[in-house]
Amino acid sequence: MNKKNKELSQQAAIHTLNLNPAVGPRGRDLLGTARMVLRQVLKQPVHSARHMAAFGIELKNVLLDRSPLKPAAGDKRFDELTWQRNPLYRRYMKTYLAWCQEMNDWISTSSLSEQDAQRGQFVIGLLTDAMAPTNTLANPVALKRFFETGGKSILDGFSQLTRDLIENGGMPSQVDKTAFEVGHNLGITEGAVVFRNEVLELIQYKPRTEQVQVRPFLVVPPQINKFYLFDLTPEKSLIRFLLGSGIQTFAISWRNPGKAQREWGLTSYVEALKEAIDAVLAITGSADLNTFGACSGGCTLSSLLGHYAALDEKKINAFTLAVSMLDIRPDTQVGLFADEKTLTAAKRRSYQAGVLEGRELAKVFAWMRPNDLIWSYWINNYLLGNEPPAFDVLYWNNDTTNLPATLHGEFIDMYQTNPFARAGALEVSGTPIDLGQVTSDFYCIAGMSDHITPWDACYRSMHLFGGQGEFVVSNSGHIQSILNPPGNPKARFMTNSNLPVEAQEWMDTASQQAGSWWPHWLAWLQARSGDHKKAPRKLGNRAYAAAEAAPGTYVHLR
């Protein structure tokens, strides 16, 4: 992968939003906001005229080459030196920047309420991002490519555009899907399915050491994406890392639900997970296990922990939560359009369809980060005529699954009512959930630049549990916080043995550590994984015989 493609892929991976299973703006919400913005022009004519005049003055400065405007820090759209050195291109860029600035100033100083102004800024942002001069054939990089290829780049771009219109719902492809195959070069760690029910497959992985620790470990992935994020490639595989450290490792692979599974809710997943845990304990002969839940898988795992606590069952010794937000306060960009009417409509729509389709959810959230998830690929694929990059994280991110309607509705209810933060407000499998009764040791990992489950929200969530906790913040985003193998020279993480109530107070006194958090977490996990014994020679046992090889059958269901 060349440097440009690598940067494009990594930027998209940082901003992926697929793991948020709850809400997104509807097309009618965006159109309604656009109409509101247009009406505001007529409602405040003097205010609008004042900003038009200010734009005119700035435009004069641009034409005279006296404007101080420059792209915001981190805006890489205008990195090509032609935008700074060529007088015409410099004026073109600054005219666009002046327009963007005045549009945002106009809406932010209007008489709209704070929420309506924020919604208006979001819609204006969609418009101004789409109208960026970098998205046109006037882009100097595209022109240079055109002359270098004798016009072939435009033909190649048109071919890719046509293919995306037919095969990708009109969205620019983020990844070369022909470069990957699950079970061939992704998810290839040796193991087998040892248990299957209607909801999940349980995969046991073959030990990679002569001795293993007696207490097994179970990975509980989110329901909106495939489980092989944790076994992406040998270099990035969390599962392989654990196996190489003597941990008996199992993983859940959720079935991709269809319309027939519309009634599956949180209780369905918890009951299926209980069966898988009983299978792990029966196979290993251990009285309990350690477990790991990520994002919505963390919500499912937390529900199970509360259920076990209500029944006084001690089947989970210690647990890890990765990028999991349980204390939900909708204060992010995703919450802008999440009012009662929108959320009710979202539940009704998914129930009518039977599922919330992962592909449609991915499309909605791509428009929440259009420069990184849409327009950068528009330029790469169509204006430059390049193939989309071959990047394993983006392949996984595009390999979406559906959410059954009932579970989707429950996630929306959680978004509205924040039940984990109130003892007894949530009932699962016939028991009230009180996370304060969960006294197991736990480890929480969050991402400093995570915009889906912000680190401070994960910190708040940690305080809901009654056990002894450890909290760590990685210097990366939602997915890259999990995919953090040792060896990355840029990796950093924050630790702090003190756990005050306020997240910022924790951060102010935290210490920065070099490298990946994986070894730090491994030491914590190994201290809670018991004595060593000889590694089993076979997978499964008589009651739970090894069947299909990993990554199993459910991972391939569309």
Q: Indicate which residues carry an active-site annotation.
A: 295
Q: Which position has the token pair 């470990």? A: 217
Question: What's phi and psi for 128, nearest 5 deg?
Answer: -65, -35
Distance CA(25)–CA(318), nearest Å, equals 38
Measured in whole angstroms, the distance separating CA 387 from the mean position of its chain's CA atoms is: 24
Eight-class DSSP state of 476? S
Eight-class DSSP state of 110? S
Cα separation values, 315 from 213, 217, 278, 291, Å:
17, 12, 9, 10
Q: Angle formed by the axes of helices 27-43 and 114-130, to 10°? A: 100
Eight-class DSSP state of 182? B
- The tokens for 440 are 């197991």
CA atoms within 13 A on the CB side of 467: 20
Residue 93 · residue 83 · CB < 8 Å: yes
Q: Which position has the token pair 């992704």? A: 186
Q: Which position has the token pair 């984990």? A: 420
Paired with 475 in beta bridges are none
CA dihedral 279, 285, 286, 288 (to 10 degrees): 30
DSSP string computed for 403-422: EEHHHHHHHHHHHHH-GGGS
Measured in whole angstroms, the distance separating CA 252 from the mean position of its chain's CA atoms is: 19
Residues near 394 by Cβ (< 8 Å), separated by ≥ 6? 9, 12, 13, 16, 174, 175
Q: Is the dihedral of CA 194, 249, 554, 234 positive or negative?
A: negative
Q: Which position has the token pair 């509980």? A: 220
**Number of residues written out for the chain:** 558
Residue 70 · residue 97 · CB < 8 Å: yes
Long-range contacts of 89-95 (CB under 8 A, 24+ apart): 89/140, 90/65, 91/62, 91/63, 91/65, 92/133, 92/138, 93/133, 94/62, 94/67, 94/69, 95/59, 95/62
H helices of 418-475, in order, are: 455-462
- The tokens for 118 are 């924020």
